[in-house]
């Protein structure tokens, strides 16, 4: 039995440099414009048997705008950043530089009082491992870029520090094929197609 899970990174809700931890804002105008431009390529993913999204407004709006009518999955929420929730990385660094350095260096640390990077990767991986295992089932999941990065690190059994080396752009896709415990990353020439 093999699953095909295509992650679609949510469209933007703010300029890249203004992204905040746990950003719960809806899509901004640029995000809506990006969805409209990407729709011809991403709309076919709506044919997936199962369609999910993370609980953020921008993930839900991205999925709805693409015709996925996704089911919200709490396990696909962004990393719990504790007291840094709502801060940019620069703001957190200005307030607690040593804590940010520790967080970036040690995937098991959570100096912000929230979730460690390791726990975040395991949570997202747990969601991936529990998807229904019908033969040739196609799944699409719209999620925050951080969630897509966590899923890739988990599926590839990469060291947690690899998380910082994966760049997931808004509306990009990544497809994982396989089953619980054995995943392969599939890279397509364009956005993934069902």
Q: pTM here?
A: 0.92
Question: Contact at 8 Å (CB) between 83 and 113?
Answer: yes
Q: What are phi and psi of 139, to 5 degrees?
A: -130, 140
Distance CA(59)–CA(148), nearest Å, equals 12
Q: Which residues contact 173 (CB under 8 A, 6 or more apart)?
A: 6, 7, 8, 9, 42, 45, 188, 191, 192
Confidence (pLDDT) at 13: 77
3-class state of residue 111 by DSSP: coil
Low-confidence ranges of the chain (pLDDT < 50): 191-194
**DSSP bridge partners of 184:** 177
- Hey, CA dihedral for 45, 40, 149, 17, is it positive or negative? negative
pLDDT one-digit tens code per residue, 16-53: 656 788 777 888 888 899 999 999 999 999 999 999 99
- Label residues 65-87 b or e (16+ Cβ within 10 Å = b): bbebebeebeebbbbbbeebbeb
* pLDDT value of residue 191: 46
């Amino acid at each position: 039995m093999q699953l095909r899970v295509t992650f679609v990174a949510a469209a933007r809700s703010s300029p890249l440099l203004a992204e905040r931890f746990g950003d719960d804002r809806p899509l901004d105008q640029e995000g809506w414009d990006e969805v409209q431009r990407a729709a011809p390529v991403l709309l076919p993913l709506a044919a997936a048997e199962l369609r999910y999204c993370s609980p953020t407004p921008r993930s839900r709006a991205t999925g709805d705008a693409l015709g996925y009518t996704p089911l919200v999955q709490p396990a696909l929420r962004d990393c719990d950043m504790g007291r840094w929730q709502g801060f940019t990385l620069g703001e957190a660094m200005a307030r607690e530089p040593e804590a940010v350095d520790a967080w970036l260096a040690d995937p098991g640390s959570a100096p912000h009082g929230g979730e460690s990077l390791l726990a975040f990767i395991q949570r997202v991986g747990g969601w991936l491992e529990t998807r229904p295992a019908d033969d040739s089932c196609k799944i699409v999941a719209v999620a925050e870029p951080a969630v897509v990065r966590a899923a890739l690190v988990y599926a590839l059994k990469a060291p947690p520090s690899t998380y910082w080396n994966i760049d997931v752009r808004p509306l990009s896709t990544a497809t994982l094929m396989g089953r619980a415990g054995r995943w392969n990353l599939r890279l397509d020439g364009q956005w993934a197609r069902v």
